[in-house]
Every structure is written in C-alpha cells, then in structure tokens.
Amino acid sequence: MQETKKKRKKTSDFYRRQDRWAMLMMTPWLIGVVLFFLKPLVEVIVYSLNDVQVTLGGLEQSWVGIENFKYVLREHATFYQDLFLTFSQALPNTVLIIFFSLFAAVLLNGKFKFRGAARVLFFLPIVLATDLISVSLVGVSLEESAGSGGGAATQSLSGAMMLVNFLIDGMGLPPSIISTILGVITNVFETIKLSGVQILIFLAGLQSVSPSMYEVAKMEGATAYETFWKVTLPTVSPLVLTNVIYTLTDNLMRTKLITTIQTTAFGSAQYGYSAAMSVSFLLLTLVVVGIVSLILGKVVFYND
C-alpha cells in the first residue's frame, strides 16, 4: 500500500524534475543566444546608427542617425544593386530547388532496383556541399579554353548557341523566355548541388505518409496523378514551408554581399557603413522570409 503511494508521488515528481533539468540543459544555449546572438544584434543596430572608429582604447561612436543608411543605399557604388540582385536571384532559385527536390524525392521514394545506390548518389551533394567543386570546374574550363582550340567549353558554348538559334528561328520564342530557359539549363548543376538537404527532408516526409492512405486512394479508384495531388502533396505540404525557409536563407547566405560587408569593415575600416549594410540586408531578409512564410502558412495543410 505504502509502496504504490510512493510511486504515484514519484510520477508527479517526475515531470517537475524533468522541467528542472530541462531548464539546466537549456542554460548554455540561453547564454549563447544572449552573448553571441542578441548582444551582437543590438550592437550592430547601434553601430549602423553611429559613426564608428576603432581606436586603441576601443570603439569611438558618434551619433549620425540614418546617414549611414542613406550613404549605403544611395551613394555606395554597388551595394544597392547587389542587394536587389541577391533577392531577385534567391527567390527563383528557391522555387527551382523546391520543385526539383520534391520531384527527386518522389523519384527516390518509389520501389525499384538499385534504390539504395540512387539515394546514396543523390545525397552526395550534401557531403560535397562546397564551392571547391565549382572552383575546380572553373579551373577545368580555364584549361580547356586556354588549350589548343576545340575544348569541351567551346563545344558546349557552340551547342548553346545552336540551341538559341533553333529556339529563335524555329519556335519564334521571344528572347526573354529563351534567356530564362538557358539560365535554368546552365543552373542545373547549381540547383542539384543545393538540393541535397531538401531532398532528404521531403523523402523523410514521403516515407511518413501512411500506406493505408494510398490503399484507400487505390480502392476508391484514384489514378496515380490524383493520388499525388490529393494524398501525397497535402501530407508533405508542411515540409514545403520548412524547405522553402531553409532554402531561402541558405541561398541568401551565399550572396556576395557578405564579401562587400566584410571588406567595408575590415578592408576600409568603415564600420558604420558595414553595419548599415548588415542591418539593411537583415531587415530585407526578415521581411521577405516573413512574407513568404505568411503566404505559405495559409496554403499549408496540417493533418493534426
């Protein structure tokens, strides 16, 4: 009798104890957030509103208001264009990557021979998620264009030109559409390279769709096409949101703005301008990600 009472008390104790430990486990992260995230965030906003000089004694700041922003957005030679370019490239890239990775995940989810090998191959870009490969590609194409005449680079260039001619002459497509198509084609490698994690997430989602759903769809006489749109897509739609946000931020982090920000700060010691660049980049990022997730949040279907 006494034993059971003790046990029941222990159970309610259990949650309290778990809470205490959870608090403790969270502490390093909390310290980290304050010290390495919130504090720098506030500091960078303060710097962006000040004229900052680094001296031997530390930082010297004098209030200038939004002068830094005015300079960075209006007078700086490249920043505004780069900022615009970053976002106008990141958004279509995200769409491409999402479509490709969903497609690849569906492809890899089916039953076929060598499925394991195919998955290993498709996840390879995650492991080799490095700019080194494109560096070496540049190296190779450099070799070929510098080499004696007909290297593969010139060959592929003439191939592209032939395609352009064919599209313009034969199909009468306007040049803007052709340049988009060509952009997609030349981006194929980049898209595939950046899709690894997204394929992984979609594949995990597809595997969590319960087989009974498919069975029901089949019993009701749905075609494969209908099954995809009515069963598969709604179930993975929360992951579309996750993936879009991940892809968008991942794409934004690859911008060359980072180099501009870095050289402005450490190259030419214009810390105030650099901070203003950082803050405008951050604000735009938050606005774009916020809008995208708001729109997608309305579309997403939650099963629970």
Partner 1 sequence: MTKSKSKSKTKAPVHARGRRLPKTAAEWSIWFRRKGGHILMSILRYALILSIGFIILMPILQMISASFMSPEEVGSPVSTWVPSAFSIEHLFVAFQLLDYPAALAYTLATTGLQVLLQVLSAALTGYAFARIRSKKLQKLFGVVILTIVVPPSVLMLPQYLFFRNFDILGIIKLITGSSINLLGNPVALFLLDFFGMGLKAGLYIFIFRQFFRGLPRELEEAAHMDGCSFFGTLFRIIMPNAVPGIITVSVLSFVWNWNDTYYTNLFVANKLNLMVKLNSASAGMDNALWAINRKIPGDFYFQHTNVLYQASILTSASLLVILPLIVLYMFVQKRFVESASNAGIVG
Q: What is the DSSP letter of 61?
A: E
Q: Which of 121, 162, 168, 269: binder of partner 1 (CB under 8 A)?
A: 121
The answer to whether the CB of 215 falls within 8 A of the CB of 138 is no
Residue 72 binds to partner 1 (criterion: CB under 8 A):
no
Q: Which of 97, 217, 244, 265: binder of partner 1 (CB under 8 A)?
A: 265
Dihedral-angle region of residue 63 (phi above 0 means left; psi in -120 to 50 means alpha; beta otherwise): beta
Residue 118 binds to partner 1 (criterion: CB under 8 A):
yes
β-pairing, 50-55 vs 58-63, is: antiparallel
Give SS3 for 59: strand
Least separation, in Å, of the C-beta of 175 and partner 1?
26
Name the one range near partner 1 by CB under 8 A: 76-84, 109-117, 164-172, 179-187.
Answer: 109-117
Name the one range near partner 1 by CB under 8 A: 64-72, 114-122, 158-166, 214-222.
Answer: 114-122
| Tokens representing residue 81 in the block | 């264009």
Positions 20 through 39 that interact with partner 1 (CB under 8 A): 21-23, 25-26, 28-33, 35-37, 39
Burial of 37 (0-12, 13-18, 19+ CB in 10 A): exposed
Give SS3 for 62: strand
Which of 81, 48, 43, 127 minimizes the C-alpha distance to 257?
A: 81
Q: Which of 96, 203, 217, 244: binder of partner 1 (CB under 8 A)?
A: 203
Q: Which of 66, 124, 185, 291: binder of partner 1 (CB under 8 A)?
A: 124
Positions 157 through 186 that interact with partner 1 (CB under 8 A): none
Residue 266 binds to partner 1 (criterion: CB under 8 A):
yes
Residue 11 binds to partner 1 (criterion: CB under 8 A):
yes
Helix H, strand E, coil C: the string for 71-100 is HHHHHCCCHHHHHHHHHHHHHHHHHHHHHH
Q: How many residues bind partner 1 (CB under 8 A)?
A: 102
CA atoms within 13 A on the CB side of 249: 13
Q: Which of 73, 85, 152, 181: binder of partner 1 (CB under 8 A)?
A: 152
Positions 46 through 65 that interact with partner 1 (CB under 8 A): 47, 54, 58-59
From residue 223 to residue 242, the character string flagging contacts with partner 1 as x (rule: CB under 8 A) and all else as - is: ----------------x---
**CA of residue 219 relative to chain centroid, distance:** 39
Least separation, in Å, of the C-beta of 216 and partner 1?
21
Residue 116 binds to partner 1 (criterion: CB under 8 A):
yes
